[in-house]
Amino acid sequence: MAKLAINGGAPIKKKPFPKWPVWDHHELNNLKEVIESGKWGSMQGDKVKTFTAKYAEHHQAKHGICVNSGTIALSIALKSSGIGCGEEVIVPGYTFVASATAILDVGAIPVFVDIDPQTYNIDVTKIEAAITKKTTAVMPVHFGGRPVDMDSLLKISKKHNLKIIEDAAQAWGSEWNHKKVGAIGDAGGFSFQSSKNVTSAEGGIILTNDDDIAKFCRSHSNCGRVDGGVWYEHYYLGGNFRMTEFQAAVLLAQFERYPEMKKKREKNAQFLSEHLSQIDGIEVMKNDPRITGNSIHLFIWRYKKEHFNNLPKAKFIEALQKEGIILSAGYSIPLYTQPLFKNLAFGPRGKRADVGVDYNSYFLPETERACYEEALWLPQFVMLGDEDDMKDIVNAVVKVKENINELKS
Ligand SMILES: Cc1ncc(COP(=O)(O)O)c(C=O)c1O
């Protein structure tokens, strides 16, 4: 009789993983307060201001500027740092599309660099080879919440006079050497979109320690107005990217419970790293003592099919899903192979815009391996489970391995 759930056996998971989003009367009370106050916009109410101050302080940043998405946070951070038309910005090949489209949005050109398979972050040793006369910035992505090696990156940026705009969309409270990411470089952007560890369905924030960058972030996100200026006077190119009081009401409540949740995710990540790494053919990310905090937006692990009878990654994932484990393959293709880049469809309605880079010529082996062969992601809400949930994950992998003969390679 078949043992694996994919073949009709009993699944490992008997009790469901925690649900997401998590909310209670704190979100409800804050929202009620905003509705009843009649002050629904950030120009009238104080929720956005309060959240901005709390978030920036928690992240050891001098300034915070709330906006309505993580994507626009990155574009405005780039623009406000002076990055513009025709300049090249280095970004990893393994990231969400927004890291690269934010660069295109300011008229700059994304140049992709491979990732380090031990971290799934940009391989800092490969950055210098990608620098040209046009390079003006690097966008490190703290992927899944794991901080990039900021020591090395700061050295490179200093040597080549490059700005660092951190994509911290997934890295709320993550720390490199006791320093919160997001404003270690010139500026950084965070996301509060639905799947994120701190969420208001949509939203984002820019952090910076630079007064001038902060001033332009405020202006570019608020129709080009200036601090203390007249409402209908506009000095710079901007738009209405303001966060609402409703979003900040929810974020204030979310943020209160965040530290406890972060601890739980980190504890579970440690458990999984210890136990999964003991299974032949499963590898986990490298431990780096300089990482003193990790949001664990994703728990990322690597699958080596040669230890699983050459079973393709997709089939392995399906077998685990049938056992009741919630996991995904992550990005299915490298970012530079997306139709957007292959066709240089950067103009209006996808019109081709020749930016002087042929994205068809890219081949970043570690990025390709992550997409096609190895990357497995556990989402952040799974990482809020109890120890039994974590054991179920490990036991499901062991079960699939022990019964691998039930699956065709
Ligand atoms: C790495 C990364 N960068 C940028 C973003 C963009 O954030 P948003 O969806 O809030 O625009 C996301 C969010 O999905 C992300 O994961």
Residues 362-373, mean pLDDT to the nearest whole number: 98
Cis preceding linkage at 21, omega within 30:
yes
Portion of the chain with pLDDT greater than 70, in percent: 100
Which atom in ligand 1 lies closest to the alpha carbon of residue 191?
A: 10
Give the DSSP per-residue string, 243-263: PBHHHHHHHHHHHHHHHHHHH
Residues 288-293, mean pLDDT to the nearest whole number: 98
Bridge partners (DSSP) of residue 261 are none
Q: Which two tokens stand for residue 238?
A: 């901007």
Residues 351-357, mean pLDDT to the nearest whole number: 94
What's at 339, amino acid-wise?
P
Contact between residue 152 and residue 143 where contact means Cβ atoms under 8 Å apart:
no
User: In this predicted model, what pLDDT tens digit does every residue of 299-309 receive, in sequence order?
Assistant: 999 999 999 99
Give the pLDDT confidence score for residue 2 in this predicted structure: 85
Q: Among candidates 294, 282, 273, 293, which has minimal Cα distance to 320?
A: 282
On the question of pLDDT at 8 being above 80, the answer is yes
Residues 176-180, mean pLDDT to the nearest whole number: 98
Which atom in ligand 1 lies closest to the alpha carbon of residue 203?
A: 10
How far is 358 from 360, CA to CA, in rounded Å?
Answer: 5
Exposure string of 96-117, with b = 16+ CB inside 10 Å and e = fewer, is: bebbbbbbbbbebbbbbbbbbb
Contact between residue 325 and residue 393 where contact means Cβ atoms under 8 Å apart:
yes
Residues 141-165, mean pLDDT to the nearest whole number: 98
Q: How far is CA 264 from the centre of its chain?
A: 19
Give the pLDDT confidence score for residue 229 in this predicted structure: 97
User: In this predicted model, what pLDDT tens digit does every residue of 261-274 receive, in sequence order?
Assistant: 999 999 999 999 99
Which atom in ligand 1 lies closest to the alpha carbon of residue 98?
A: 4
Q: Would the CA dihedral through 60, 20, 144, 186 be positive or negative? A: negative
In the chain the domains, ranked by start, together with CATH numbers, are 25-114+121-254 (3.40.640.10)
Query: Who's near 232: CB < 8 A, 6+ residues apart?
Result: none
Q: Ligand 1 pocket check: which of 67, 139, 191, 295 to mutate, most ligand atoms within 8 Å of Cβ?
A: 191
Query: If you average pLDDT over every residue of the chain, what do you get?
Result: 98
**Ligand 1 neighbourhood includes 71 CB (under 6 angstroms):** yes
On the question of pLDDT at 221 being above 80, the answer is yes
For the full predicted model, state whether its pTM sits above 0.85.
yes
Give the pLDDT confidence score for residue 1 in this predicted structure: 81
On the question of pLDDT at 339 being above 80, the answer is yes
Give the pLDDT confidence score for residue 382 in this predicted structure: 98
Q: Which two tokens stand for residue 142?
A: 């703290």
Give the pLDDT confidence score for residue 409 in this predicted structure: 63
Give the DSSP per-residue string, 389-405: HHHHHHHHHHHHHHTGG
Q: Which residue's alpha carbon is nearest to atom 12 within ligand 1? A: 169
Residues 35-43, mean pLDDT to the nearest whole number: 98
Residues 72-80, mean pLDDT to the nearest whole number: 98
- Which stretch of DSSP H or E encloses residue 218? helix 211-220
How far is 167 from 142, CA to CA, in rounded Å?
Answer: 6
Q: How far is CA 47 from the centre of its chain?
A: 25
